[in-house]
Amino acid sequence: MTSRNQIDRSSGTPFTRREFVSTATTAAIAPLIITRSSSAQAADTLRVGLVGCGGRGTGAAAQALNADPGVQLWALGDMFDDRLQKSLENLKKHAPERINVPAERQFLGFDAYQQVIDSGIDVVLLATPPHFRPMQIKAAVEAGLHIFAEKPMAVDAPGVRSVLHSAEIAKQKQLSLMSGFCWRYNFPERAMFEQIHNGAIGDIVSIHTTYHTGPLGTNPRQDGWSDMEFQLRNWVHFCWLSGDHIVEQACHAVDWNNWAMKGRMPTRATALGGRQMREGPATGNIYDHFTVIYDYEDGVRTFHTCRQMPNCSYDNTCYLMGTKGTCSMNPWAPKHVIKGDTPWRYDGPRSNMYQIEHDELFAAIRRGAPINDGTWMANSTMMSILGRMAAYSGQTITWDDAFNSTEDLSPAAYEMGDLPFPPVPEPGQPSPIATDTIS
Ligand SMILES: NC(=O)c1ccc[n+]([C@@H]2O[C@H](COP(=O)([O-])OP(=O)(O)OC[C@H]3O[C@@H](n4cnc5c(N)ncnc54)[C@H](O)[C@@H]3O)[C@@H](O)[C@H]2O)c1
């Protein structure tokens, strides 16, 4: 059985050394072509800033340091000092000579991201809760920075549209915008989806993706925490911050669906979901299970199921059914098997996908050949949001209605203080979580 820790949060351990020779090794000697401050600093130094110094952010910073010998960690930003200091301490153990983050470049609070962006960096790593991602990507693109942005990209449709807009500007400015949808960079999945795209199972008839895991941890309320701090410290459990687990975590599996369908989006979704096992205020207002049916224009139907419940079976698989065969992929097993007219099984090299992402990002920056994951990373996020919206509302929702929705999950103000506890959405009832509803 795959443990919860092997799924998704596995990246929380930052210090896995590169398992494969990096393309950056040779690329590092090429001239630095496009960076915000390339004219002002030595061409072989790339200053990196990290926003969101938790498990994944610290891991991403370590991977950036591994990827390119010219990387210097230059600034850190987090909501809370304890998180920032812990991350800094760990990163100092990893590459002490390339950590250059004095107190004046340690930023805290809601505008920490802007201060990191303005600190004179070339590349920013964004790993806060996803609620904040659209505003951070926008600011980073405006500042002319290369970006690594963890998945998911947003928690609501206005956020997705903002990210798509920023991605377009990043393209015009020739900035790299890489997503943390890490399976897209893993060797076995790349090889397998290439087979699928080349017709190994014929035309896709149906897909079932799963993300069945255990619950994530909670932080009981401490004396002195405001409502806002309490929700931020338990962000995965609050829909406005995480988008719910179908968006925050299971988006990886929804992205496999998007990948297999070559980026074609469903026309509508119908979904079931609920909150059966979560108890206590720290478990917020998210559901603990979803089932989504996505309908495509040509009659293809795809299914996604996800669950975060204790003492239940785990599964994180992509099952593909085609006119000439079937494919089953569980990257944790690992298992990548095609059966049918042209049987196939992956037996090539295995990679550390988190490291490969950064190796490829920094090599692309060195070459001046930007990577832009913008469209598909935003669409996979939106597909997950569509599933949540359909489950919360109990309605069948079209892609167009969801994509154009003005449902905005932002709080009234970004400040530590009172923040009403958000209610749990009930299917068939008007949305209680949004400041606006589907137009
Ligand atoms: N690609 C993957 O496999 C993978 C794995 C784990 C997490 N993630 C993603 O990475 C992101 C972070 O997850 P994590 O597990 O590191 O969470 P975490 O809770 O460990 O870290 C998040 C950090 O962001 C800080 N933060 C909160 N709001 C902030 C703000 N407005 N500005 C600055 N800092 C802020 C928190 O204090 C915390 O230190 C999430 O989007 C998550 O989905 C991706």
- Tens of pLDDT, residue by residue over 348-407, are 999 899 999 999 999 999 999 999 999 999 999 999 999 999 999 999 999 999 999 999
Residue, of 434 and 199, whose pLDDT is higher = 199
For residue 242, pLDDT over 80 is answered with yes
Q: Whose CA is nearest to atom 33 of ligand 1?
A: 78
87 touches 61 (CB < 8 A): yes
Task: Report which of 183, 249, 182 is spatially closest to residue 214, judged by C-alpha positions.
Answer: 249
**Which residue's alpha carbon is at the smallest distance from atom 19 of ligand 1?**
54
Q: What is the 3-state secondary structure (H, E, C) of 120-175?
A: CCCEEEECCCHHHHHHHHHHHHHCCCEEEECCCCCCCHHHHHHHHHHHHHHHHCCC
The whole-angstrom separation of Cα 235 and Cα 422 is: 12
Band of the pLDDT at 11, cuts 50, 70, 90? very low
Calculate the CA 95 to chain-centre distance. Answer: 25
The one-letter amino acid at 140: A
**Cβ count near 428 (within 10 Å):** 7
pTM of the model: 0.92
CA distances from 264 to 153, 226, 295, 375 (A): 18, 43, 11, 11
* pLDDT confidence of residue 431: 72
CA of 243 to the centre of ligand 1 (A): 13
Six-digit token pair at 160?
Answer: 């997705």
Angle separating helix axes 187-197 and 251-260, nearest 10 degrees: 40
Predicted confidence at residue 439, as pLDDT, reads 35
Q: Is the pLDDT of residue 190 over 50?
A: yes
- Please identify, by atom number, the ligand 1 atom nearest to the C-alpha of residue 241: 28
* Higher pLDDT, residue 432 or 180: 180
Hey, what CATH topology would domain 4-183+355-372 get? Rossmann fold (3.40.50)
Could you give the 3-state DSSP secondary structure of residue 225? coil
**How many degrees, rounded to 5, is the angle at CA 15 between CA 10 and CA 18?**
95
Neighbouring CB atoms inside 10 A of 355's CB total 23
Q: Is the pLDDT of residue 63 over 80?
A: yes
Predicted confidence (pLDDT) at residue 111 exceeds the cutoff of 50: yes
pLDDT single digits (tens) 267-315: 999 999 999 999 999 999 999 999 999 999 999 999 999 999 999 999 9
Could you tell me whether strands 177-179 and 146-149 are parallel, antiparallel, or unpaired per DSSP bridges?
parallel
Is the pLDDT at 29 greater than 80? The verdict is no
Confidence bin at 43 (pLDDT 50/70/90): low
Domain boundaries in the chain?
4-183+355-372, 204-322+380-403
**Alpha carbon nearest to ligand 1 atom 7, residue:** 56
Distance CA 161, CA 265 (A): 15
Taking CA atoms, 111 is separated from 9, 76, 118, in Å, by 26, 12, 11
The per-residue pLDDT for 298 is 94
Tell me what pLDDT residue 2 has: 35
Distance from residue 121's CA to the centre of ligand 1 (Å): 20
Query: Which residue, 354, 403, 356, 348, is CA-closest to 379?
Result: 403
pLDDT above 90 for 174: yes
pLDDT of residue 432: 67
Check: CB of residue 145 under 8 Å from CB of residue 122.
yes
CA distances to 205, 210, 261, 337 from 325, in Å: 10, 20, 16, 11
The structure tokens 């806060």 sit at 128
Q: Which atom of ligand 1 is nearest to the CA of 132?
A: 31
Residues with CB under 6 A from ligand 1: 8-9, 11, 51-57, 77-80, 83, 110, 112-113, 127-130, 132, 150-151, 180, 182, 232, 248
CA of 257 to the centre of ligand 1 (A): 24
Distance CA 367, CA 33 (A): 7
Of the two residues 35 and 216, the one the predictor is more confident about is 216
State the Cα–Cα distance between residues 63 and 44, nearest whole angstrom. Answer: 18
How much is the pLDDT for 429? Answer: 86
**Substitution candidate for ligand 1 out of 150, 251, 356 with most atoms within 8 A of CB:** 150
Inform me whether the pLDDT recorded for 42 exceeds 50: no
Q: What is the mean pLDDT of residues 147-158?
A: 98
Q: How far apart are the CA of 242 and the centre of ligand 1, in A?
A: 9
Atom of ligand 1 nearest to the CA of 58: 16
Residue 181 has a pLDDT of 98
Residue 324 pLDDT: 98
Using a pLDDT cut of 90, give the percent of the chain over it: 87
Q: φ, ψ for residue 160 (rounded to 5)?
A: -65, -45
What's the CA gap between 153 and 162, in Å, rounded? 10
181, two tokens = 């949808």
Q: Which CATH class is domain 204-322+380-403?
A: alpha beta
Give the residue, 29 or 67, on which the prediction is more confident: 67
Atom of ligand 1 nearest to the CA of 128: 24
